[in-house]
Amino acid sequence: MTIDLTGRVAVVTGAGGGLGREHALLLARRGAKVVVNDVGGSVGGTGASTAAADAVVAEIRAAGGEAIANASSVTDFAAVQAMIDQTRVQWGKVDILVNNAGILRDKTFSKMSLEDFRSVIDVHLMGSVHCTKAVWDHMKAQSYGRIVMTTSSSGLYGNFGQANYGAAKLALVGLMQTLALEGAKYNIRVNCIAPSAGTRMLDGLMSEGLLRLLPAAAVSPGVLALVSDDAPSRTILCAGGGSYEQAHITLTQGIYAGVDEHAAERVAESWQAIGDRAGEEIPSAGIAQSQLELQKSKNAVTHPSP
Long-range CB contacts for residues 165-169, cutoff 8 Å, separation at least 24: 165/104, 165/105, 165/106, 165/120, 165/124, 167/117, 167/121, 168/120, 168/121, 168/123, 168/124, 168/125, 169/124
Of 55, 16, 26, 38, whose CA–CA distance to 220 is shortest? 26
Cα–Cα distance between 135 and 142 in angstroms, integer?
Answer: 11
Cβ atoms < 10 Å from Cβ of 68: 19
Residue 157 designated active-site? no
Of 226, 241, 242, whose CA–CA distance to 192 is shortest? 226
**247 pairs with which residues across the strands?**
236
Marked catalytic residue, from 144, 165, 186, 256: 165
Backbone angles phi, psi at 194, to 5 degrees: -115, 95
Cα–Cα distance between 213 and 42 in angstroms, integer?
Answer: 24
Residues noted as catalytic: 165
